[in-house]
């Protein structure tokens, strides 16, 4: 299993090969299409991300090793790809690893500067929700043991 920073570096490398933003957007959309099917029963108000222009749902589960596994979906193609990038970086890590992560890949691939203000706010909201899940699971783990 790669570390969060190793995964970020891998993503940065993938994007360095694409200089045209249309190619990058196409790649982001392709990434979104690789997300597993998100069950309709998880498309609840609790999993809906506030602050996103499009609808985005993120759900978290804890595996037997105490790592968080995220699932997500969006009704917008580019947003679905962005959330796929976030999950690729943060899923399958412990709450502490997620909370300690510096998500530098977002700036390094130029994502922030190429998003509309509303999409940029949505990205911040997605990261915040993932952090909230990590905090909740960390508290749950501390209470258990």
Q: Distance between CA atoms of 15 and 34, rounded to whole angstroms?
A: 17
> What is the phi/psi pair of residue 49, to 5°?
-85, 125
Contacts (Cβ under 8 Å, ≥6 apart) of 67: 92, 93, 94
The residue from 52, 79, 109, 126 that is catalytic is: 52
52 a catalytic residue: yes
74 close to 83: Cβ distance less than 8 angstroms: yes
Q: Where are the beta strands (DSSP E) in 8-130?
A: 56-62, 68-74
60: left (phi over 0), alpha (psi -120 to 50) or beta: beta
The whole-angstrom distance between residue 66's C-alpha and the CA centroid of its chain comes to 18
* C-alpha–C-alpha distance, residues 134 and 97, integer Å: 9
Residues designated catalytic? 52
């Amino acid at each position: 299993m790669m570390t969060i920073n190793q995964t970020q570096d891998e993503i940065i490398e993938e994007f360095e090969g694409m200089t045209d933003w249309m190619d990058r957007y196409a790649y982001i959309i392709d990434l979104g299409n690789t997300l597993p099917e998100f069950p309709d029963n998880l498309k609840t108000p609790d999993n809906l991300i506030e602050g996103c222009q499009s609808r985005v749902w993120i759900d978290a589960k804890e595996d037997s090793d105490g790592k968080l596994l995220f699932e997500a979906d969006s009704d917008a193609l580019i947003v679905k790809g962005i959330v796929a990038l976030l999950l690729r970086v943060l899923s399958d890590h412990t709450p502490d690893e997620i909370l300690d992560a510096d998500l530098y890949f977002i700036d390094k691939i130029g994502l922030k500067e190429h998003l509309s203000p509303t999409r940029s706010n949505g990205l911040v909201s997605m990261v915040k929700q993932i952090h909230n899940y990590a905090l909740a699971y960390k508290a749950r783990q501390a209470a258990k043991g």
